[in-house]
A = this chain, B = another copy of it.
Amino acid sequence: MANITKKVSWSSRTDESGTPGEGTPLLNGSERASHSRQLSEEDSLFQIGRLSTVDLEEEITSDEDSQRGRLKEIPHNEKLLSLKYESLDYDNIENQLFLEEERRMSYMGFRCLEISRWVVCGLIGFLTGLIACFIDIAVEELAGIKYQVVKENIEKFTEVGGLSISLLLWAVLNSAIVMMGAIIVAFFEPIAAGSGIPQIKCYLNGIKIPRVVRLKTLVVKVCGVICSVVGGLAVGKEGPMIHSGAVVAAGVSQGRSTSLKRDFKIFEYFRRDTEKRDFVSAGAAAGVSAAFGAPVGGVLFSLEEGASFWNQMLTWRIFFASMISTFTLNFFLSVYHKNPGDLSNPGLINFGRFQSDSVAYNLYEIPLFIAMGAIGGLLGALFNILNYWLTIFRIRYVHRPCLQVMEAMLVAAVTATVSFTMIYFSNDCQPLGPEHSEEYPLQLFCADGEYNSMATAFFNTPERSVRSLFHNQPGSYNPLTLGLFTLTYFFLACWTYGLAVSAGVFIPSLLIGAAWGRLCGILLASIPSNGSIWADPGKYALIGAAAQLGGIVRMTLSLTVIMVEATGNVTYGLPIMLVLMTAKIVGDYFVEGLYDIHIKLQSVPFLHWDAPATSHWLTAREVMSSQVTCLNRIEKVGTIVDTLSNTSTNHNGFPVVVQVSGSDEPAKLCGLILRSQLIVLLKHKVFVELARSRLTHRKLQLKDFRDAYPRFPPIQSIHVSQDERECMMDLTEFMNATPYTVPQETSLPRVFKLFRALGLRHLVVVDDVNRVVGLVTRKDLARYHLGKHGLEELQLAQT
């Protein structure tokens, strides 16, 4: 792409002349042929329904009915970027109001703020821990009842024959429970589907996903995940914890609940994107921490996904929230398990302690581990590709809520049937240990004092199955059992992810990996050489679990730390890291990680860490949108209303320009104002009537903006009379007077770095005399990505 030099025609006008209706000053860049933002023919081939995981609907119309059943034109092509997604603003809007407030604040004021941040983080940790505790206990109790009922039934019918009735009972029970979970998700809050990790990734990346951090979402998520796990689906309850923690954080930090219509009048200072994001990071970390008993892993997860600018105090607070969350969960669980004060089970799942002496590894095992990592990468890529096709299919054909519920029920029934069949035809009988390590041992056709080994894997919550695979004695499983289990569970898990139920993919991945990992261990142990060294298959189960999980989700640093913390053994750090790295490299060769696939399928403008490597030949000039609508510092209300109402552009940030009255100099950039700010100004009628030259409004406070945050009303809901349209509005006090700017020649990586490091939403491009020539937003940067054939450019779609 050559450097296209553009002639910029600046429709100069002086506002003070008061000629109305001339339209807003526009920078008409020459038509950019290469950047056509139209949907191409090809794209429109996609028949598009409603997305379940991330609802794309703009919240302009607040009627809930519009959510249901109506088909919408939504692209699900990963080569598109949707323009519907808005950015969050992680850069403080430093307007006069804000600066005045900051200047008024004493040192003690800042100290108090700091203390309340800590309090909020403590609360976030505590509540997240409580929620984790609630989920855990609910699942344990309900699953206990279910398995007990089915077990008794199976035992009854094993003797008298007619096990098909047991199968029916199991399948119906599962379907019924899953149905409940699917109904609340599909009909009440579709955003609560899935693990929630892609959504939280997007949120922390700076993308506004509607309704993702609402109370209703939390309730649906928690109930949904309980139903899914109890319903016996191939899912985990860990992923949803991260989403739950984030919702808790977003709620607690704002000191009010819009859903409950309660405003506690506290933490008002935190009512902006910058502060809220920080707390949501803490919430996500607390969620990870509760899920895996991995506070450090939680911090790193938040940083890996969310942080742009690392801040020591923030990280320290995030760590605090994580610690409190683990501690709370641990404490209440210890009380529940009638063992108060035993704080050694720090998470929803823990892998049990791997003692380094019992399962030490040797240097020559490392190549084996790496090979297992490669297998994990391959299997993970297969999983992701299958799930990708399935998701496309779902988007096209399974978009009605009732269909979604039926699919979920079908999966539940099939899962039960497959499990039952596997158990039924398995003849892997193992002697019952003296300590009755199995929770629900199924005797079935085994001799007395023995249990069916396949049933420990299938007839159990997945968390327990994982632990059995890690820690059961060598010889507890025979290879055929493990092979069959891997195969069936792989396809079940793949089918399950993306259903309209609230559920995570961590545990199924671990389970698949642990199964084939243990299988590898058993096969290695059968090598005649000197068997003792390969003795422990649990070690290989752990490596396999890491490989499979890494192959599917492609997380790196945080996952290593999570695994290390969950095993409680730092010596496994290096092998786990090597395995995750191999799995990522191998997997990335074929397809992206599962979360990234789902993010791309939603056409979310996700910003990665760096600009694509080979993008140095692009400059701000090529990247920017040159259709910038500028406002004058003192602007006519009518113009503003028209600008905001213009649905064809739907801009959210407007550079403010100023022109010396009577001079013919071009207008200079003097600030930046957001749609949300203008809306508040219009709502409060902050107009200056020119004729009488007096203020018709009370002085606007920051509080007014905070009260409106984050659900600013749409422009359509604000009535502006014809008289008022003739008034003027003085933006001086409200605009950000010092927006970041770059010259046109700045290279894309440089623009990207500035944008990403500071969490910007709009970056103004100026020429050498400070005139606005363009605006860089998230979509302009996210468009460029490195494909198989070098730098590619994504299409932008209005839908």
Contact = CB atoms under 8 A, between A and B. Distances in A.
Interface of A: 92, 94, 99, 102-103, 105-107, 110, 293-296, 299-300, 303-304, 307-313, 315-316, 319-320, 323-324, 326-327, 330-331, 341-344, 346, 356-357, 360-363, 556-557, 560-561, 564-565, 568-571, 573-574, 577, 581, 609-610, 613-614, 616-617, 668-670, 737-738, 740-743, 745-747, 750, 753-754, 756-758, 766, 768-770, 786, 790
A312 B758 contact: no
A319 B557 contact: yes
B573 A570 contact: no
Nearest to A343: B571
A310 B312 contact: no
Given A310-B307, A557-B319, A574-B327, A668 B768 contact: yes
B564 A296 contact: yes
A107 B790 CA distance: 7
A275 B527 CA distance: 47
27 contacts: A94-B750, A99-B616, A102-B616, A107-B786, A110-B613, A295-B570, A296-B296, A296-B300, A303-B310, A303-B315, A308-B310, A309-B310, A309-B753, A309-B756, A315-B557, A320-B577, A331-B363, A344-B357, A346-B570, A346-B571, A670-B768, A738-B742, A738-B747, A738-B750, A757-B758, A768-B770, A769-B769
A299 B556 CA distance: 14
Given A668-B768, A769-B770, A309 B312 contact: no
5 tightest Cβ-Cβ pairs between the two chains A and B = A102-B616, A110-B613, A738-B746, A757-B757, A310-B310
Contacts of A360: 341-344
Given A330-B571, A344-B357, 12 more contacts: A296-B561, A308-B310, A312-B557, A312-B609, A326-B574, A342-B360, A344-B356, A737-B743, A741-B741, A754-B758, A766-B770, A768-B770
A319 B668 contact: no
A570 B568 contact: yes
A740 B758 contact: no
A341 B746 CA distance: 53
Contact of A570 (B565, B757, B769): B565
A762 to B, nearest CB: 15
B738 A754 contact: no
Contacts of A320: 577, 581
Contacts of A110: 613-614
A350 to B, nearest CB: 10
Contacts of A753: 309, 758
Contacts of A668: 768-769
A513 to B, nearest CB: 21
Contacts of A565: 570
A618 to B, nearest CB: 10
Contacts of A747: 94, 99, 738
B770 A323 contact: no
A766 B770 CA distance: 10
A324 B577 CA distance: 10
Contacts of A614: 105-107, 110
A42 to B, nearest CB: 25
A92 B746 CA distance: 12
A331 B300 CA distance: 27
Nearest to A312: B609
Contacts of A294: 570
A606 to B, nearest CB: 13
A303 to B, nearest CB: 6
Contacts of A331: 363
B319 A312 contact: no
A574 B103 CA distance: 36
Given A323-B574, A743-B738, A362 B344 contact: no
